[in-house]
Amino acid sequence: MPLLKHLDRFTGLPVRKPKPIRYEASRPGELVHVDIKKQGRIPEGGGHRALGRAAGNRDRQRGVGYAFVHNAIDDHSRLAYSEILDDERKETAAAFWIRARAFFADAGITVTAVMTDNGACYRSRAFRDALGNGVKHRRTRPYRPQTNGKVERLNRTAEDEWAYARFYPNEAARVAAFPAWLHHYNHHRPHTALGGQTPASRVHNLTGNYS
């Protein structure tokens, strides 16, 4: 039985606590979330998710290694820019951000703040210099990945809808499928958090320039 303090005194019905309000930046570019997703590469013939645990053990023995998916997502529009790169070194992260910032600029978005975790590449001088003038660097609280929740959600969506959505015979096939998926994510995939809108629909320049 619920406690009396959890019931409405007049109706006797349980009192529902209001859901916490989701934070959202007021305009595109006000905050961009940046993160890196480490992902095991697929060996020739397919990986363990398709072929089973025994194949996964062979993958580790063969040392197929990892790919690193670098992601940047705008807090307001959920417009995303991503690249699959070979490592997470400071120079790689810095160069990725320069290209990501150019992508957002082409869409008419001026970035004024970036949020990352406390990884070594993001604490480097190289990344600080790459941020650019007028861009504030915010860091998540240690051991609190939910602070950067929008990019964490992008990581999960990419896993479900691209990385492990179907059988890929090798890593090259999965990499080749990524640009089409990212285009779909930005331009055609309705987002529940946006009330059914697409990220592109929240960025006027992008919607007009790209189909």
**196 within some domain:** no
Q: What confidence category does residue 18 fall into, taking pLDDT thresholds of 50, 70 and 90?
A: very low
Contact 30, 76 (CB under 8 A): yes
pLDDT at 211: 45
Number of domains in the chain: 1
**CATH number where 106 lies:** 3.30.420.10
pLDDT in tens, 42-94: 988 776 555 555 555 555 545 689 999 999 999 999 999 999 999 999 999 99
**Is 7 within a domain?**
no
Summary mean pLDDT of the chain = 84
Average the pLDDT over 141-147 and give the result.
67
Share of the chain above pLDDT 70, in %: 76
DSSP 8-state secondary structure symbol assigned to residue 30: S
Residue 66 domain boundaries: 24-182
**What is the pTM (predicted TM-score) of this model?**
0.80
